[in-house]
Amino acid sequence: MGTVTLGVSIAVPEPHGSRLQSCRLGFGDAAAAKIPTHVTLLPPTAVDPAARPRIEEHLAGIAAAGRPFPMRLYGTGTFRPLSPVVFVQVVEGGSACGWLQERVRDPRGPLARQLQFPYHPHVTVAHGIEEERMDAAEAELAEYEAAWTASGFALYEQGRDGAWRLQREFLFATVAAAERTPEPENAA
C-alpha cells in the first residue's frame, strides 16, 4: 500500500513568505521552489494513507485548543556544523510553537515520533548549499524582521515531485468562530 509523507507547519504569510522564498532561491537553494515558507511543527513524516482521517481529527483537536498568538522573526542563525541550515530566527511565538509541536507529536496520537534534534522553531532560508552561499544568506538577512498573528497551522503532503502541497488548514478555535459569526448589520 505504501506511505505518504506529511508535514505540519505554520505558514509565513505574505508578503514575507514570498520574499523569504525568493531570497532562498537567490542563495542557490533550488529546493525552495517546492517548499512554502514556514515554521515546522512536524518534520517530514511517512504515514499510512489510511491514517489520514485520524490525523486530521487529531490536528483539528489541537487547533480547537489553540489560540492566536504573535509571531515575530528577526535576524539569522545557523545549525552548522551539525546541520547545513541557515535560518531566520523566531524571536516571539517560539513557546507557542513548542506547545503546538508537542501536541502534534503526542506519543498517544497518530503522528507520534522522536526528533533527530531538539525542537527549535525557525524559518529555513538556506539548506545544503555551498558554504559561501550559506554565509551570504546568514549575513544578508541578519537584520530581516517580520511580524504577524498566527491564526492556525496547516497539513502538507509531499508529492512524488518533491513539492509540498497544502492539504488542509486548521484555524484556532477563536479564529474559526469569528469566521462563522456574521458581522452585525449597521443600525444607522
How many CB atoms within 10 Å of residue 176?
17
What's the pLDDT tens digit per position in 13-52?
A: 999 999 999 999 999 999 999 999 999 999 999 999 999 9
Q: What is the pLDDT of residue 174?
A: 77
pTM for the structure as a whole: 0.90
CA dihedral 56, 58, 63, 66 (to 10 degrees): -170
Q: What is the pLDDT of residue 187?
A: 46
Provide the β-strand partners of residue 38: 11
- 174-182 average pLDDT score: 60
pLDDT surpassing 70 at residue 169: yes
pLDDT surpassing 90 at residue 173: no
CA distances from 20 to 46, 80, 180 (A): 27, 20, 32
What's the pLDDT tens digit per position in 86-103?
A: 999 999 999 999 999 999
Percent of the chain with pLDDT over 70: 92
Average pLDDT, the chain: 93
pLDDT surpassing 80 at residue 184: no
Name the nearest CA neighbour of 71 among 45, 90, 57. Answer: 90
In order of their start, the domains of the chain are: 4-180 (3.90.1140.10)
- 51-62 average pLDDT score: 97
Q: What is the pLDDT of residue 134?
A: 96
